[in-house]
Amino acid sequence: MPDASDIGIPDDIRDIVKGSVTGMLQFVESEIVPMEQEMGSLLVDERKFFDESGRAVDEVMEARRQVRMKSAKAGFYGMFAPESVGGGGIGIRTMLFVEEALYRKFGPGRPLITWAKGFLSQPVLASFVDGPSHMLVGITESVRKEFIPQIANGDKTVCFALSEADAGSDVWAIKTKAKRDGDDWVINGSKQWITNSPYADYPIVFAVTDEDAVKERKGGISAFLVEASDPGYSVDSVLPVMGHLGGDCGSMVLENVRVPADRVVGELGQGFRTAMFGISEGRISIAANMVGMAEFALDRSLEYSQQRMSFGKPISDYQAIQFMLADMAIDIYTMKYMVLQTSTLIEAFPKTGRLPVKEISIAKVYAVERTQDIYDKAIQVHGGMGLSNELPLNEGFRICRTLRIPDGTGEIQRRTIARQMLRGDTAF
């Protein structure tokens, strides 16, 4: 793998990236890989990994908690979260290179590094769907003192409870409601396809607090920090996906769940803004992950094509294979610098006042779709071996296919891109 001092890394973050990448890879090698080896078949046999309900068994979840807490102690878990919520405050450009290195080195399908059973949530690095993130910046001081320490050290996790059965891409269609009752809010409704919901300690639940404002799409949605132990809250099912026996997405029900008024996350009635901020963060993180995953697939394909003999010579000598390798490289080069440029624009937002909405959508949709195509080519280069479970290429293909939907489908990304341009945002 290229050294972190590659010319592609901007000078102003070169030292931070080099130290972070080196430290992260050493941490995974010394702390996480031995845990995976010790747990053995439990992590690779889904009949042992999941229970009958589709939840990961307690032993797996405890191991993942230990990974989070070890990573937090080493300074990695919340390194990209704001300092105000217990994070390291390291910028998004650095995140690109760290996540790229992590996935290029270890690839998809490592159970304690990635969720690996069809998803891409990492206990080594927190994201807005499970740990400390920019989404929590707007919490009250009382909530910050009570909940943030446990979230920041990896002991407890959150989930991002926005989607509903009839409200996926259309956030304004949510039906979950919260009504004020004295010093509390009382929440009723249901959520579906919520990542980490079967395991989260503190769901961040989005609910309608002003129906008139929601009808006009001018606010009226608020976010609340709920405790999974609160009376009336339950996760009623786990939703397995694409060839797996379980997963980390679930459906939740809230029946007269009472939460104190100080648990509103951000401004009352401005939950849509909070949600979009979290989703935008998720989109660029996914794109960064894709760069590393794509490089992993190309690395394996280059290595295999030079070893695999056919008709007396390596298959890398055949033009058909060379063209696939070249196309993979073209896509990786394009997506990497697309994501880097977008990350630069995001970091400049406090100065420019311009959130690169269009560019974030471009980066997410392009990176996921091209990486799926790269994994398809990698499987083709490997032939029958590419279809086997001995290599994580099939898992990478499923991860890419899965990620074409969350945080906005490819179609929603394209709609966002077009709308931004029609509003006059045509700079590139």
| Mean pLDDT along residues 115-139 | 76
pLDDT for 2 equals 47
Please give the residue that has the higher pLDDT: either 115 or 404: 404
How many Å apart are CA 237 and CA 251, to the nearest integer? 5
Residues whose CB is less than 8 angstroms from the CB of residue 25 and which lie 6 or more positions away in sequence, other chains included: 101, 102, 105
pLDDT over 50 at 255, yes or no: yes
List residues bridging with 235 in a β-sheet: 252
Residues whose CB is less than 8 angstroms from the CB of residue 158 and which lie 6 or more positions away in sequence, other chains included: 129, 130, 131, 136, 151, 196, 200, 201, 202, 203, 204, 225
Q: So where are the chain's domains?
A: 158-269
pLDDT for 241 equals 82
pLDDT digits (tens, 9 = 90+) for 77-100: 999 999 999 999 999 999 999 999
List residues bridging with 187 in a β-sheet: 178, 257
| Mean pLDDT along residues 129-156 | 94
pLDDT over 70 at 117, yes or no: no
pLDDT over 70 at 29, yes or no: yes
pLDDT for 391 equals 87
pLDDT digits (tens, 9 = 90+) for 172-182: 999 999 999 99
| Percent of the chain residues past pLDDT 90, beyond the cut | 76
- Measured on CA atoms in the order 320, 324, 326, 330, is the torsion positive or negative? positive
pLDDT digits (tens, 9 = 90+) for 281-309: 889 999 999 999 999 999 999 999 999 99
pLDDT over 50 at 161, yes or no: yes
- Pairing between β-strand 202-208 and β-strand 158-161 as defined by DSSP bridges: parallel
Side-chain-side CA neighbours of residue 195 (13 Å)? 20
Model-wide pTM > 0.85: yes
pLDDT over 80 at 120, yes or no: no
pLDDT for 7 equals 60
Compute how many other C-beta atoms are within 10 angstroms of the C-beta atom of residue 176: 23
pLDDT over 70 at 121, yes or no: no
pLDDT for 252 equals 96
pLDDT for 8 equals 74
| Mean pLDDT along residues 1-20 | 76
Residues whose CB is less than 8 angstroms from the CB of residue 121 and which lie 6 or more positions away in sequence, other chains included: 114, 115, 127, 129, 130, 195, 196, 248
**CATH code of the region 158-269:** 2.40.110.10
| Mean pLDDT along residues 26-37 | 92
The owner of tokens 């050493």 is 26
Residues whose CB is less than 8 angstroms from the CB of residue 411 and which lie 6 or more positions away in sequence, other chains included: none
pLDDT digits (tens, 9 = 90+) for 355-372: 899 999 999 999 999 999
Secondary structure (DSSP) of 239-288: ---TT-S--SEEEEEEEEEEEEGGGEESSTTBHHHHHHHHHHHHHHHHHH
Q: Record the tokens describing residue 81, joined without a space.
A: 């979260």
